[in-house]
Amino acid sequence: MYFLQIATGGLADRIGRRPPVVLGMFLAGAGVLGMVLVKGYLSWAVLAAVSGIGMALLYPHLMTVPSDAAHPTWRSAGMGVYRMWRDSGYAVGAILIGLSMKFVNAEAAFYMTAGLMFVSGAVVYIWMEETHPDLGTHEPPAPATEKPVETVPRD
């Protein structure tokens, strides 16, 4: 479903950053949850597509939010911090999935993953400000002001 990211990539420029992230989280969570509830290859394939569409909606837009919020002078450092937290989530998620499979069962891993996606979508829905420069309430940080150069009066 990576090719869908190309189609959804420009969506945030037209409708804002928040709607695709919220919808994507809920769609991806619904796809993962559905995989526990159905039987058969075709059903799983459809739900994998639903989850993939959700990821294609949210993933390219996650990078735009910190980019919108960061002033150009510190944007690269801000993006680095964002990526560190995002990537650490992959490691924590893998550990949680492994632990739930070892101590409960594989089904529990699906429930946990879907639940965390729904919680993430709810957090974004409740607390995320729209960061699109033209559509949101978020104002980018003002640039760091330099001290004015004092001039020596001329005689």
Residue 115: is its pLDDT beyond 80? yes
Separation of alpha carbons 85 and 77, rounded Å: 13
115 found inside a domain: yes
Q: How many CA atoms lie within 13 A of 77 on its CB side?
A: 4
135 found inside a domain: no
154 found inside a domain: no
Element (H, E) at 150: none
Q: Which amino acid is it at 51?
A: S
For residue 122, the model assigns a pLDDT of 93
For residue 153, the model assigns a pLDDT of 62
17 found inside a domain: yes
Closest C-alpha to 17, from 52, 68, 55, 56: 68
13 found inside a domain: yes
Separation of alpha carbons 116 and 97, rounded Å: 11
140 found inside a domain: no
Number of domains present in the structure of the chain: 1
64 found inside a domain: yes
Residue 149 C-alpha from the chain's centroid: 43
Separation of alpha carbons 79 and 32, rounded Å: 28
83 found inside a domain: yes
Residue 15: is its pLDDT beyond 80? yes
Residue 82: is its pLDDT beyond 90? no
Residue ranges making up the domain that contains 22: 2-127
SS3 of 38-92: CCCHHHHHHHHHHHHHHHHHHHHHHCHHHHHHCCCCCHHHHHHHHHHHHHHHHHH
Mean per-residue pLDDT for 65-69? 79
More confident residue, 155 or 42: 42
Hey, how many other C-beta atoms are within 10 angstroms of the C-beta on 43?
A: 13
